[in-house]
Structure formats: C-alpha cells, structure tokens
Structure 1
Amino acid sequence: MSDTRKHTEVAVGILIRQDGALLLSTRPEGKAYAGYWEFPGGKIEAGETVTEALRRELIEELGVTIGEAHEWKVTEHDYPHALVRLHWCKVFDWSGGFEMREGQQMAWQTFPLTVSPVLPGAYPVLDWLEAELGVTGA
C-alpha cells in the first residue's frame, strides 16, 4: 500500500459551552462535502502553530476570537479529495458574535446529535466526546 499523497494538516475547534453543548457548522457551498456538519477550523498554513491556525480560521469563518485552545487529540481521515491530519482542540472561551461569514449554518448540539449528515472524519471524536461528556438530553 503506497499512498503518495501528503497529509493536509488541519486545526479543528471543539467549542464547548458551559452547559456542555458543542458548536457544529455546515461546510460552505463550493467546498467538498458542502452542507455536511463539522466542527469549525481549517488548514494550518506554513509557519503557523495549531492554535494560531485555529484562531485565524475561527475569526475568518465565524467572526469569533478564541481564548486558550487545549490541544486534545490527533486523528487522520482519508477522504476522496484529501488525506487529512486533524488536530482537535477543545475551546471553552471565546468572544464576539457568531457571524457565519461563509454562509454556513451553525447549531449547538448535545448528544444525541440532531443535525446530519456529519462529516465522516468527525465520528471518532464524537464518540470520544459522548463518552467524556455523557448524554445530557438537553
């Protein structure tokens, strides 16, 4: 098995409200998997740390500025359009109003999720979060 594709490094933010709800947003039109629900984030540019990339992406996409990002897990997912390495960060602190600057939708979710479809690369993380946070029924 010789996959010569390079990984695309991606910073992903798991924004967690005080009540345990998680922020998901839809992928914008024109992007692969448009309309699928995902945790916000984006590509890490050359010279950026995971936190710097996440901070930049969330300002660009959502109009919010995050506080500290807690790097949590790293996963990989092989999509038909890209081989990605996802750097998952938990974020408990942010400021600004959510603006959805790419025309996407957003939803605060608890388990079980009520939005679908969800981007396939998020499933392992959702399982871990559900085990950690538990079913709230909210």
Structure 2
Amino acid sequence: MSDASGLVLPKNYLLVVAAALVDRDGRLLVQQRPEGKPMAGLWEFPGGKVDAGETPEAALIRELDEELGIDVDHSCLAPACFASDTLGERHLLLLLYVCRKWGGVPEARHASALRWVRPVELHGLAMPPADKPLIGLLEALV
C-alpha cells in the first residue's frame, strides 16, 4: 500500500487515523463500536481507514464527517502520536491527531453511543489494545 507521499507499506498493514476531539472543558470524545463489528462494545477515538491515494488528514476529515457529521479543517488537525498493534494476520498502524475546533455537533452515526470523558477516565473504559497506549500522552496534552 502506498500513500500520497509515496510511502510504501507492506500489504498486511492497515493504516488507520483517529481524532482526539477536545472540547472547551478539556474532555475527549469517544465512541462505542456497534454490534456486528469487530471489537463491538469497546470505546474508541473516532476515525477510520485511510483509502488508497488518500492522505491521512483527508481520510480523517472524511471519516469525521461520515461518522459524526462534523466539519473539520485540515489546519485544525495536529499530529499527536501513533500506535502499532497486531490484528490477526494484519498489522495496525494508528495515527492519532488532536482536534480542538470543528463545525457542527457530533452525533453517533456509525456508533452505538458517544461519550465525553476526561483523559483520566479513559483508563476505566474498555478500549481496543491500540488505543490504550495513547491515553498517557493525552493526559499530558489535555
């Protein structure tokens, strides 16, 4: 797989982007994976797969519109960190961005529920393995 920068990833890699949406009170938005999806019931940061030929930022803007109905400008996405995890035969590379400004009110279009939480509360949520290493950084950033 190759992205717009020409980076070539092995075929078994899955490139995913996610956003740590931070509200004015310093809370983060997490969404619950719906029934019928892998890892159903777990809480995660909104985002999704990067399509072929798509930049990570373009993919995240698209995913946030599709999943939450919000409008995000490229300039409002700050790269924060990444996580790496094995998913069966594939390897997940998750790029996390912090976003503090968007248009619209997030709604659960593809999730069972949405929840605003303080960074420290993330430790008590059931989350996918790739999301857990991001919690400490978010506690420091927010």
The TM-score bracket by the shorter chain reads 0.7 to 0.9
Q: CA deviation at 1:73?
A: 1.3
TM-score when scaled to structure 1? 0.85
Structure 1 moving runs of 4+ over 4 Å = none
* Paired positions, count: 130
Deviations 1:28-57 (A, max 9, x none): 222110110000000000111111000101
User: Structure 1 vs Structure 2: percent identity of aligned residues?
Assistant: 34
TM-score when scaled to structure 2? 0.83
Q: In structure 2, the residue corresponding to 1:75 is in which secondary structure?
A: strand
Question: What is the RMSD of the two structures over their aligned residues, measured on CA atoms?
Answer: 1.8
Matches for 1:1-138 after TM superposition, within 5 Å: 6-67=12-73, 68-80=76-88, 82-113=90-121, 116-133=125-142
Mind listing any 5+ residue stretches in structure 1 that lack a counterpart? 134-138
1:66 and 1:81 map into 2 onto residues whose CA distance is: 33
1:7 and 1:23 map into 2 onto residues whose CA distance is: 26
CA separation of 1:11/1:103 partners in 2, compared to 1, >3 Å: closer, same or farther?
closer
Native 8 Å contact 2:21 2:98 kept in 1? yes
Q: CA deviation at 1:66?
A: 1.4
Q: CA deviation at 1:79?
A: 2.4
